[in-house]
Structure formats: structure tokens, C-alpha cells
């Protein structure tokens, strides 16, 4: 019986293009990887992500040069004791730090991974890095103050701390007066001065007004009674206030306990967010000494992190774009309450009656070091 021979199926292999064929009909597939990486590195984040979906070669090139900013973590103070919670809002992971150095101290501000603290009894002020455990002392400040901020890490020679301690109306001179004090690490005392304050309204509550340092100036946002406010700047070198100010009126008529303002910067530009417990946040950018309201398209994927004391802004967080993250835990204590600017809704969905529910004074955003897990 004759046996049938098994015939094998031959799969044609893709023939590589010759140099002459490439020259006649060039294709993006023929770009060398080094050149492709250069092209991808020139793209903004959203275009980098879109290009990476084209093919495997483009994805590898795009991912290799993609720059994703470090997002801040939520640092939470306990009601008692020295066990502090640290929450990563992206990966929903919570860690615990035991920091006896912060016992009997109150939180004032945070920037660049450092906390600004004040002893409850002695009124001594100090910087503290909860990751490296470094502590830098400042002169004590006996009086109460409205708002406080600092420019950069206390390890820098350019670090300066500023606070506004009072706003008042001088009946005799018929002038509004503001008192500001500054100092720097290594100083033995604060430098305090009172100046005329150019503003239509006199409203001074630290829960509503904000202070932020940028371009050798302390910017003071003076929040008004029914929403909105005016921005004033203090030059640290000349120790003078600008006579002009940028005014913004709120579209929401808010009660005393509802309104809130948040001041921050990105790439040297100043941003302002006004919000309440229920309304959609209003976001403005300072352009030529005027506040310009930003549309969703103009925001272009920005991510806001706001708290009772400070605010952070990012624009290269692909998984958190077009969101506002508040310094409050969600129901499961693993995620933060957030507001989607795309969907115009809170997560978790709830009727928030005041901004203090969203930004309790026991928590603050802090920028972790790149090797943060080595400290945990």
C-alpha cells in the first residue's frame, strides 16, 4: 500500500526592505530608534501617550523618554500620639511613620518635602523633614498669625519664611494696614513691618486667605466675604508691597463657611482655585497682573492637590489628569476625595456642605523623595 507523503506548509517570511527600496519609499517604520526617541522626547505628555499606541516600536521609544512628575502624598496628623499616616493617592497605599519629633506641635505649611511646624507651648518654629528626620530651627514667633509660607527647602541659602500677622483699619489715619514678618534659617529674630494695604475690603481670616512665594515675592490672596478676592505681592528684597493688585470676583455667592481659595504655581505661573462644598471649582491663571478664568481645554490635563495649608499642581500625571484631589480620606481610608473636571462630579459621590469637610486641618500634601520607600 502506497504511503501518502506528508506535505509541509511553507509560511512566507517577510522580506526586509533593501536600502534602495527604503530610499525610494521611506516610512516612519524605517526611522532609527535613536532618532525616534529624540522625536518622542519633544512631545508633551498627552501626545507621547497617543503616539505610543501606534505600534510596538513607537511604544518602546515613547515610554523610554516619557517624563512623569512625582505626585505629592497625603500626610495626616493623629488626634493624639506620634503615629502619622502617609497615603499614596495613586496606588492607594497607606504607611505609618512614628515621629516623636513632632509631639506637641502644630502644622503650619509644607513645600518641597519639608514641614513647617510650631511648638504649641514654647512657640518655637522649625522645619522638619519626615523622611530624613532633619530638623532646622527658626526663631520663635509669639503672636498669632493669619497665613504663613516659605520659598524653598531650609537647606538652601535662598530660603525665606514669611507670615502675615494682622490686617486692620487705622481709624485715625483712615488707612488699611497690613503687618508682615520674615526670617530665614540661621536668623535670631523676625523682621516685622507694618505697611499701608491697598484693598477695597478688609477681610482677614487664615481659613480663607493664602500666602505663596514665587519670583522673589510673597503673594497674598486676600479673600472676600462673599467669594472672590484680590492678589497682593510683597518684594522680599525691597520690602515693599505693590500698590496695584489683581482682583477676581467669584461666580458663586458663598457663605462664610463655604468659600475657599487655593494658591499655587506651575512653571513660574501663578494659579488660583476657588471652590466650596458643592460647586464646581473655578480655576484662574495670572496673566499680566490679571486673573484669567481657564476652560477645561486650557487646563490641558492639570492635576490639583489642595489642602487646608498648601496646594500642589502637576501636569504630567497620566492617570490623574483633570482632577482635583482634596486632603480628605474616602470611606475606605485608602483613597482621597477627588473632583473630576471632565465629569463634573465628586468621588465618592456625596453632598459636601463645606470646604473644611474636604480639607480638614489635620492633613497636608507633601512631596516625597524619589526613594521614599527606603524610609518606610
d(CA 252, CA 194): 33
Per-residue pLDDT at 65: 56
The confidence score (pLDDT) of residue 357 equals 81
CA angle 71, 108, 136 (to 5 degrees): 85
Q: Helix, strand, or coil here: 297?
A: helix
In sequence order, the β-bridge partners of residue 364 are 75
Residue of 96, 209, 190 whose CA lies nearest to 143: 190
Place of cell 492639570: 302
CA distance 324 to 336: 10
Q: Which of 89, 143, 117 is CA-nearest to residue 368?
A: 89
Q: How far apart are CA 308 and CA 161, in angstroms?
A: 18
Rg (CA), the chain: 26
For residue 48, the model assigns a pLDDT of 67
For residue 203, the model assigns a pLDDT of: 52
Which of 122, 185, 119 has its CA nearest to residue 150? 185
Question: What's the pLDDT score for residue 256?
Answer: 45
Length of the chain: 376
What is the pLDDT, as a whole number, of residue 24?
53
How far apart, in Å, are the Cα atoms of 148 and each of 25, 183, 343? 63, 11, 34
Task: Report which DSSP code applies to 77.
Answer: -
β strands within 65-204, DSSP E? 73-76, 83-88, 93-98, 105-111, 114-119, 125-128, 135-138, 147-150, 161-170, 175-183, 191-196
d(CA 288, CA 278): 31
The pLDDT profile of the chain, 376 residues, written as one tens digit per residue, is 444 444 444 545 545 555 555 455 566 666 776 677 667 666 655 676 677 777 877 777 766 655 567 899 999 999 889 999 999 998 888 999 999 999 999 999 999 999 999 999 999 999 999 999 999 999 999 999 999 999 999 999 999 999 999 888 777 777 888 999 999 999 999 999 999 887 765 554 456 789 999 999 999 998 776 567 889 999 999 999 987 778 887 564 444 445 688 999 999 999 999 887 667 888 999 998 899 999 988 888 899 999 999 999 998 787 888 999 999 887 666 788 899 999 998 888 776 667 778 899 999 999 999 899 898 8
Can you give the pTM of this predicted structure? Answer: 0.81
Look up residue 243 and give its three cell numbers: 500698590
Task: Tell me the C-alpha distance between 66 and 286, whole Å.
Answer: 29
What does the alpha-carbon distance between residue 256 and residue 126 come to, in Å, rounded to a whole number?
32
CB-based contact 151:158 (threshold 8 Å): yes
Phi, psi of 10, rounded to the nearest 5 degrees: -95, 120
Residue 48: which of 65, 34, 31, 28 has the closest Cα? 65
**Residue 50: its pLDDT value, please?**
75
Q: What local confidence, expressed as pLDDT, does residue 7 receive?
A: 46
How are beta strands 217-223 and 210-214 bridged, if at all?
Answer: antiparallel
Amino acid at each position: 500500500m502506497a504511503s501518502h507523503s506528508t506535505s509541509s506548509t511553507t509560511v512566507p517570511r517577510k522580506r526586509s526592505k533593501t536600502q534602495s527600496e527604503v530610499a525610494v519609499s521611506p516610512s516612519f517604520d524605517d526611522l532609527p530608534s535613536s532618532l525616534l526617541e529624540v522625536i518622542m522626547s519633544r512631545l508633551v505628555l498627552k501626545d507621547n501617550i497617543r503616539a505610543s499606541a501606534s505600534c510596538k516600536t513607537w511604544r518602546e521609544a515613547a515610554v523610554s523618554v516619557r517624563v512623569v512628575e512625582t505626585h505629592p502624598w497625603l500626610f495626616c496628623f493623629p488626634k493624639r500620639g506620634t503615629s502619622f499616616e502617609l497615603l499614596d493617592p495613586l496606588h492607594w497605599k497607606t504607611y505609618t511613620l512614628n515621629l516623636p519629633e513632632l509631639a506637641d506641635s502644630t502644622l503650619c505649611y509644607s513645600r518641597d518635602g519639608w514641614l513647617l511646624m510650631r511648638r504649641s507651648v514654647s512657640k518655637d518654629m522649625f522645619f522638619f523633614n519626615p523622611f530624613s528626620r532633619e530638623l532646622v530651627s527658626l526663631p520663635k514667633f509669639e503672636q498669632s498669625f493669619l497665613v504663613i509660607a516659605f520659598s524653598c527647602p531650609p537647606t538652601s541659602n535662598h530660603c525665606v519664611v514669611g507670615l502675615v500677622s494682622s490686617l486692620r483699619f487705622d481709624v485715625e489715619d483712615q488707612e488699611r494696614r497690613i503687618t508682615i514678618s520674615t526670617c530665614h534659617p540661621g536668623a535670631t529674630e523676625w523682621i516685622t513691618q507694618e505697611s499701608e494695604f491697598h484693598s477695597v475690603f478688609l477681610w482677614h481670616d487664615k481659613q480663607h486667605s493664602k500666602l505663596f512665594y514665587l519670583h522673589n515675592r510673597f503673594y497674598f490672596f486676600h479673600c472676600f466675604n462673599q467669594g472672590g478676592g484680590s492678589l497682593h505681592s510683597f518684594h522680599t528684597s525691597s520690602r515693599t508691597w505693590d500698590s496695584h493688585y489683581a482682583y477676581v470676583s467669584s461666580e458663586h455667592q458663598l457663605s462664610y463657611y463655604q468659600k475657599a481659595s487655593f494658591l499655587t504655581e506651575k512653571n513660574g505661573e501663578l494659579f488660583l482655585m476657588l471652590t466650596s462644598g458643592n460647586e464646581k471649582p473655578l480655576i484662574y491663571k495670572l496673566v499680566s497682573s490679571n486673573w484669567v478664568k481657564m476652560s477645561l481645554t486650557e487646563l490641558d490635563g492639570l492635576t490639583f492637590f489642595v489642602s487646608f495649608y498648601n496646594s500642589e499642581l502637576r501636569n504630567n500625571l497620566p492617570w490623574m489628569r483633570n482632577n482635583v484631589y482634596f486632603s480628605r480620606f474616602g470611606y475606605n481610608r485608602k483613597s482621597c476625595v477627588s473632583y473630576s473636571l471632565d465629569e463634573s462630579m465628586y468621588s465618592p459621590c456625596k453632598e459636601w456642605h463645606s470646604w473644611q469637610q474636604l480639607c480638614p486641618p489635620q492633613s497636608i500634601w507633601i512631596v516625597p523623595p524619589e526613594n521614599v520607600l527606603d524610609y518606610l
